[in-house]
Structure 1
Amino acid sequence: MNKLGLHAFVWTAGWNADDATRAIGRTAELGFDLIEASAMDYAAFDVAATRRALEANRIGITMSFGLTDDMDVSSGDPGRVAHGERHLLDGISLARDVGATHVCGILYSAFRKYDTPPTQDGIAGSVEVVRRVAEKAQASGITLGMEVVNRYESNVLNTARQAVRFCDRVGMPNVKVHLDCYHMNIEEADIAAAITQTGDRLGYFHTGDSHRGYLGSGSIDFGCVFRALVASGYAGPITFESFSSAVVGQPLEGILGIWRTLWDDSRDLAAHAKLFTDAHLHAARQAWRHVPDAIDPD
């Protein structure tokens, strides 16, 4: 069964003791199985408070982040590549310390808009770094998710097919594809086909509508999305991610172009996402049971 998660940016842009306690508690109250915490600032991440809140509320945690330009492991620049590798390894240590099961995001390049295409040497260097990081992650039972993002946030992995090839090159069992509805809506010709073709390489999934607001209020066909997830046999986390200028600040606001207040009631947004996801996942499973010769997804 899929564990359902909520991105912490629905509640807070930071992660001090108060942020962690509040975000984890509210996420658990709404019935989610896990919270995804963004490790934008390792120094400000309160490990002890996070562990206490997770244990008190009996939910799990995943983590995500992206690399800055001076940490670009796809750059081919030895200094930047080394800096990025150290940052990724430190991120794995942090994830291990809080008991995270997954570390996802743009772990293979810088989190920014590029002016030129990637080089083959740069991608090869990124593969080598991710392989070494994955070895450390594997020792702590952590899955790495290579998030497929749109062309304005990376030039390396913009489609599911690219991510599958990248993961195959890394060759580690704990390196998986991380797909996100918002990005797929921009880059994929057929979202359902991209999901099913990724198959067992899919290790993490983000829901989010075309404008990053309330699920179902944009242009994405979520019935199709959930049917594809069920048909592919995906059993990993499904986490809702949304951003509003009412919560996120710089630098994320600028990087992602979050210029509008898409919502200002975090609890209502999150409660709606939980109900929406439960309903669509249930409907997709029921539909799959009526497909001739289908295998029960549960």
Structure 2
Amino acid sequence: MNKISATIPLQFDTGFSPFFAAEFDEALSWLAENRFDGIEICVSDPKRVNVEELNNKLRRHHLVVTAVSTGQARALEGISLTDSIREVRESAVQRLREHVDLAAAIGFPLVTIGLLRGAGNPGTKDRDLTYLAEALEVCAAYAECRQVELMVEPINRYETTLLNTVDETVAFLASVAGGEQIGILFDTFHANIEEADICHSLEKLGDRLLHLHFADSNRWLPGMGHIDFSQICDTLRKMNYGGYVSLETINMPDRMVVRSRSQTSLKQCFAGMKEGGL
């Protein structure tokens, strides 16, 4: 089976993890006991992270950080890379730099640009994309200096007007100075809404694919909706994908079910793969 991780909040709760932030230590034990390889950490304010303590905890549980999620900064503080107010955009850029610094201090995991880009607005989309390009140019250069990789996540149209599909995201990054250094985070839930053919979209990414989120069509655990994960896993095998697959699901039917079934759900995703699996 491929290398696996799961989303866990470090500072503030998220609906995409079966653990509360206050249960972080318990979550690490759960990951280790269930043979996860890594943890995808949700961090709103990197300056408040005790890096030495975090690294010690990770070492004790033999876990690595696979990605640093930045979206809570927008959700909790209302900052984004495309805000109409310049000072707010600058605050979001600075916050993303701080996420990059944190990543450099905890093993150089990937840094995600999800909803920190902002929800956008159909009437101001061109302006918003200009703002986003300007921000990413600065952040890509900073991340390269710190030896950290950024990745943009295509997100469905109901959550943002900006970069909904793989094609749109790749074309946009091609227009950004330094955009060739930015990879793609592919989320199966968003792709099920936006992509005509999930596997074809994966194949088009090639080496640009840096990370995967697995969630079914209803955003429940894989196997609880209608996405064919066996085909997705076969596509990943053909692509020689060597990155992580991370669970990012809602807590349905409840978080205890998510905890108890996560490992089984992932095993079932890969069980139907053709010979020569990941």
Q: Which of 49, 65, 69 is matched with 1:64 structurally?
A: 69
Q: Does 1:162 align with 2:193?
A: no
Alignment-derived partner of residue 36 in structure 2: 32
| Alpha-carbon displacement from aligned partner over 1:208-257 (angstroms, at most 9, x marks no partner) | 1112222112011112211222223322221111122xxxxxxxxxxxxx
1:273 aligns with 2:277: no
DSSP 3-state at the match of 2:114: strand
SS, match of residue 175 in structure 2:
helix
What secondary structure sits across from 1:196 in the alignment? Answer: helix
1:7 matched residue in structure 2: 7
Q: What TM-score do you get using the length of structure 2 for normalisation?
A: 0.85
Equivalent in the alignment of 1:131? 137
Task: Kindly state the Cα deviation for residue 95 of structure 1 after the two structures are TM-superposed.
Answer: 2.1
Mapped partners of 1:51, 1:145: distance in 2: 23
Aligned equivalent of 1:49, options 53, 66, 87? 53
Partner in structure 2 of residue 104 of structure 1: 112
Pair 1:145-2:179 in alignment = no
Change (3 A) 1:151 1:117: farther
Aligned residues of 2:229 and 2:269 also touching (Cα < 8 A): no
Residues 120-143 of structure 1: per-residue CA shift (max 9 Å, x gap): 232122122112212222233322
> For residue 220 of structure 2, what is the aligned residue in structure 1?
213
Cα distance change of structure 1 residues 73 and 10 upon mapping to structure 2, 3 Å threshold: closer
- Contact (CA 8 Å) 2:34, 2:263: kept in 1 or not? yes
Q: Hey, what's the Cα distance between the residues in 2 that align with 1:276 and 1:117? A: 43
Distance 2:271 2:112 in 1: 26
What pairs up with 1:251-270 in 2 under 5 angstroms? 261-270=253-262
Q: Is the 1:213–1:263 Cα contact (8 Å) retained in structure 2? A: no
Partner Cα separation in structure 1 for residue 247 and residue 237 of structure 2: 17
Aligned length: 266
Q: Is the 8 A contact 1:7 1:239 kept in 2?
A: yes
Structure 1, unaligned stretches of length 5 or more? 245-259, 290-296
- Residues 267 and 121 of structure 1: is their aligned pair in 2 closer, same or farther, counting only changes over 3 Å? closer
Q: Using the alignment, how far apart are the partners of 1:2 and 1:214 within structure 2? A: 17
The Cα RMSD (Å) is 2.5
Query: What SS does the corresponding residue of 2:227 show, helix, strand or coil?
Result: coil
Native 8 Å contact 1:212 1:242 kept in 2: yes
Name the CA shift for 1:50/1:270 in 2 (closer, same or farther; >3 Å): farther
- Listed one character per residue, the Cα deviations across residues 135-165 of structure 1 (whole Å, up to 9, x for unaligned) are 2222333221101111122111100111111
What is the DSSP-based 3-state SS (H/G/I as helix, E as strand, rest coil) of the residue aligned with 2:122? coil
Which residue of structure 2 lines up, in the alignment, with residue 257 of structure 1?
none
Identity of aligned residues (%): 25
Deviation at 1:55, TM superposition (A): 0.8
Asked whether the equivalents of residues 151 and 185 of structure 2 are also in contact (C-alpha less than 8 Å), the reply is yes
Query: 1:10 aligns to what SS in structure 2?
Result: coil
Structure 2, gaps ≥5 residues long: 9-15
Q: 1:103 to 1:133 in 2, by over 3 A?
A: same
Question: In the alignment, is the contact (CA less than 8 A) between 2:108 and 2:148 conserved in 1?
Answer: yes
TM-score (norm 1): 0.79
1:118/1:30 CA distance change after superposition, 3 Å? farther
> What is the deviation of 1:167?
2.5
Instruction: Specify the SS of the correspondent of 1:220.
Output: coil
Structure 1, residues 97-136: CA drift from partner, whole Å, max 9, x if none? Answer: 22241111416621x4x54255323212212211221222
How far the C-alpha of 1:188 sits from its partner, in A, is 0.9
Q: Structure 1's 275 and 239: CA in aligned 2 closer, same or farther, altered over 3 A?
A: same
